[in-house]
């Protein structure tokens, strides 16, 4: 399995975890997320140690989760703390694995790696989420492919003209200047287009929209699969702070070998109080991923019949550099993690 285990993965938007337990699959593991004592988010392996009923089918009550099959209760640390049968003996074998959970950027993050490893791995640093000048909408969807194929799609913005015509003007690809750089284990792709007709999306965000402007789209990838895209349109040679900006965060979670949960959030620095713009941005972003990107990536996968892209000897075009670099970095990190597991 090509998953990096020693990492924090987003599990859910915090606001989406209410009183009911939430069932998740992450890195081929079944996980139940629920509110423990004081409402603190907790994550356990989603299989009761008695007969392996999914705990997510039970209820959370008083900070515990109650198995829906025979009623054993577990606390947020995975200890069995109540047995409703006979004399109520709880035995040490009745224990489920607990995963560390943290809350940041309005999301719940789960540490999927070795026990105790979370201490030396800080939560992901996504400073755009903390920008007080941005108003956000967010969503999520499930994609039926390996997460690296989704990363490939996101690191290549040249597909926009063809797959999302509403977001680009005709002939855009020919006018785009592309550059890629690597900063340690991060990859950055920058696309600039001078004197570009302002797209329908930016007309929404820009009062007194000019007909043409310079556009910069700047996307940064961090392993295993976090991407921050900042797009701005302005009159200057490079993006200025007060130009209309649209930031889209893409956070990918491998559910299994051919399944990815895809969280996205779109922030803007203009038309910030407009609920109409929020609704349109939400629907437009969700629809683009769900009805344009996802079917194409799934169709690509159907022709590849496997996830080993390089084994298929794809034709490499210059703008593929970012995706290729990200794949190499991830492969190196995966190799290192496997070697550590083998030696440790």
- CB of 33 within 8 A of CB of 99? no
What does 293 interact with, of ligand FES, Fe ion, none (CB < 5 to 8 A by kind)?
Answer: Fe ion
**Nearest Cα to 207, choosing from 272, 137, 284?**
272
Name the residue number minimizing CB distance to Fe ion. 293
Shortest distance in whole angstroms from residue 94 CB to ligand FES: 9
What does 144 interact with, of Fe ion, ligand FES, none (CB < 5 to 8 A by kind)?
Answer: none
Query: Which stretches of 111-180 are DSSP H helices?
Result: 147-155, 160-163, 172-175
Cβ neighbors of 15 (< 8 A, separation 6 or more) are 106
Cβ neighbors of 253 (< 8 A, separation 6 or more) are 9, 10, 11, 26, 147, 225, 260, 261, 262, 263
The residues facing 51 across adjacent strands are none
Shortest distance in whole angstroms from residue 161 CB to Fe ion: 11
Closer by beta carbon to ligand FES, 63 or else 71: 71
Interacting residue with ligand FES among 18, 20, 40, 51 (CB under 6 A): 51
φ/ψ of residue 272, rounded to 5 = -70, -30
Could you give the CA distance from residue 119 to residue 117 in angstroms, rounded to a whole number? 5
What does 118 interact with, of ligand FES, Fe ion, none (CB < 5 to 8 A by kind)?
Answer: none
* Coil/strand/helix, residue 175: helix
Shortest distance in whole angstroms from residue 170 CB to ligand FES: 59
CA torsion angle for 203, 205, 207, 211 (degrees, to 10)? -30
Interacting residue with Fe ion among 218, 243, 293, 294 (CB under 5 A): 293
Cβ neighbors of 145 (< 8 A, separation 6 or more) are 258, 259, 260, 297, 298, 300, 301
Shortest distance in whole angstroms from residue 56 CB to ligand FES: 12
Closer by beta carbon to Fe ion, 84 or else 295: 295
What does 194 interact with, of Fe ion, ligand FES, none (CB < 5 to 8 A by kind)?
Answer: none
Closer by beta carbon to ligand FES, 70 or else 121: 70
152 touches Fe ion (CB under 5 A): no
Closer by beta carbon to ligand FES, 53 or else 324: 53
Query: Which stretches of the chain are DSSP H helices?
Result: 147-155, 160-163, 172-175, 200-205, 275-287, 294-304, 321-343
Closer by beta carbon to ligand FES, 43 or else 108: 43
What does 67 interact with, of ligand FES, Fe ion, none (CB < 5 to 8 A by kind)?
Answer: ligand FES
Interacting residue with ligand FES among 53, 141, 277, 296 (CB under 6 A): 53
47 touches ligand FES (CB under 6 A): no
Closer by beta carbon to Fe ion, 110 or else 149: 149
Shortest distance in whole angstroms from residue 116 CB to Fe ion: 39
Could you give the CA distance from residue 184 to residue 217 in angstroms, rounded to a whole number? 21
The residue count for binding ligand FES (CB under 6 A) is 9
Closer by beta carbon to ligand FES, 78 or else 244: 78
Site string for ligand FES, 65-84 (x = CB under 6 A): --x-xxxx------------
- CB of 32 within 8 A of CB of 21? yes
What does 50 interact with, of Fe ion, ligand FES, none (CB < 5 to 8 A by kind)?
Answer: ligand FES
What does DSSP assign to residue 275?
A: H
- CB of 141 within 8 A of CB of 262? yes
243 touches Fe ion (CB under 5 A): no
50 touches ligand FES (CB under 6 A): yes
Footprint of Fe ion on this chain (CB under 5 A)?
293
Footprint of ligand FES on this chain (CB under 6 A)?
48, 50-51, 53, 67, 69-72
């Amino acid at each position: 399995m090509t998953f990096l285990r020693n990492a924090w993965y987003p599990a859910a938007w915090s606001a989406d975890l209410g009183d009911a337990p939430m069932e998740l699959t992450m890195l081929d593991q079944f996980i139940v997320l629920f509110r423990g004592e004081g409402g603190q988010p907790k994550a356990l392996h989603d299989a009761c140690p008695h007969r392996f009923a999914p705990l997510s089918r039970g209820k959370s009550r008083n900070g515990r989760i109650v198995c829906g099959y025979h009623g054993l209760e577990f606390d947020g640390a995975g200890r069995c703390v109540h047995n409703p049968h006979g004399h109520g003996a709880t035995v040490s074998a009745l224990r489920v694995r607990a995963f560390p959970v943290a809350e940041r950027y309005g999301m719940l993050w789960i540490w999927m790696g070795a026990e105790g490893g979370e201490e030396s791995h800080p939560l992901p640093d996504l400073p755009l989420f903390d920008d007080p000048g941005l108003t956000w909408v967010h969503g999520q969807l499930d994609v039926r492919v390996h997460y690296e194929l989704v990363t490939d799609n996101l690191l290549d913005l040249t597909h926009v003209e063809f797959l999302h015509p509403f977001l680009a003007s005709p002939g855009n690809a020919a006018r785009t200047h592309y550059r890629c750089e690597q900063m340690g284990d991060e990859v950055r792709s920058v696309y600039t287009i001078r004197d570009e007709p302002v797209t329908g999306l930016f007309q929404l965000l820009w009062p007194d929209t000019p007909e043409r402007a310079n556009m910069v789209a700047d996307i940064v990838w961090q392993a295993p699969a976090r991407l921050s895209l900042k797009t701005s349109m302005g009159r200057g040679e490079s993006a200025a702070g007060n130009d209309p900006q649209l930031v889209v965060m893409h956070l990918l979670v491998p559910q299994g070998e051919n399944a990815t949960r895809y969280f996205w959030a779109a922030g803007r620095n203009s038309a910030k109080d407009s609920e109409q713009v929020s609704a349109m941005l939400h629907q437009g972003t969700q629809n683009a991923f769900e009805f344009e990107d996802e079917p194409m990536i799934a169709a690509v996968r159907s022709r590849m019949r496997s996830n080993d892209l390089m084994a298929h000897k794809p034709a490499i075009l210059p703008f593929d550099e970012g995706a290729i670099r990200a794949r190499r970095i991830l492969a190196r990190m995966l190799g290192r993690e496997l070697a550590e597991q083998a030696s440790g």
